[in-house]
Amino acid sequence: MNAKKKILITGGAGFIGSHLAEALLAQGCRVSVIDDLSTGTRDNIAHLMENPDFHFTRDTIMDEMVMRKLVDSCDEIYHLAAAVGVKYILEKPLQSIHTNVQGTEIVLDLASKGNKKVLVASTSEVYGKNPSSVFPENADSILGSTKTSRWSYACAKALDEFLALAYCRKTGLAAVIVRFFNTVGPRQTGRYGMVIPRFISQALHNLPITVYGDGKQTRSFTYVGDVVKGIIDLMATREAVGDVCNIGNPQGITIEDLAKKIKEMTKSSSELVYVPYSQAYGEGFEDMRYRVPDVTKIHALTGYAPKVSLDEILERTIESMKDKRSEAG
């Protein structure tokens, strides 16, 4: 009988990590999760705790001794632990840089020494202020001033990619890098600025739906289940090692239209209120007009194509948030 594959997920109590843990357990893997619960929650993984193939460690990836034990006992690593969300980055810039750079270096070094395959989660933020409307992986990164904290996240994640690729070239580490574009769905929180749960919460409470800027900025949204399947398939693809892939939905929508759609789907009496970036995030905040991925590469490697439409994503997320309200009430 084949031994079960042992997987380590850093940041596994987070939104994407908890869905990934579910999917890997369903495939018959043993799953270990480490999370310091700074942005993840026990609620996300509570339903997994009784599974004998699931193990949770509450600790930080900065603790090298703990990480060494976890890496030694796994076959593959999905490195998702990171400081995420524009609001969180702006509120905790130093902690964010430490986690995103030093934490990733610890993971990569241990993975290299232990000869473990690792997936490194990166972000569409690395494209920065590039004015393109669609982003292939080789598009230029155009970052703002170092005096604008907003760009520290993009810079840190770009450094993560440089580190992973350097380890691949110099030590033979089998690393796969994935740039996420707005992954959404049940369990995501609006606490750190995530737009869909924030809009839905406001709409369900008939509060003003606060659109930052003029609302004409275009984003794309991908269901977490499509993303999880995509990264699992990518990890199983030898040709993806040492490369960078976007993962997301090539269909974009303006934030203003997204707010209108959520208002209509929730039958909300909320009004749309436009809030200047300076009021939402402070003076000097910079945003980009477009953030839509080119997914040609990942489709060629794995056949990836998002299956869940935006309307379906919103329906599922609205129902999930309604259920949470009912449980809380």
* Whether residue 212 lies in the annotated active site: no
> Which of 153, 167, 212, 223 does the annotation list as catalytic?
153
Residue whose C-alpha is closest to residue 135's, from 259, 279, 297, 266: 297
Gap between the Cα atoms of 194 and 274, Å rounded: 16
Sequence-ordered list of residues with C-beta below 8 angstroms from that of 242, at least 6 positions apart, any chain: 165, 168, 169, 174, 175
The catalytic residue positions are 153
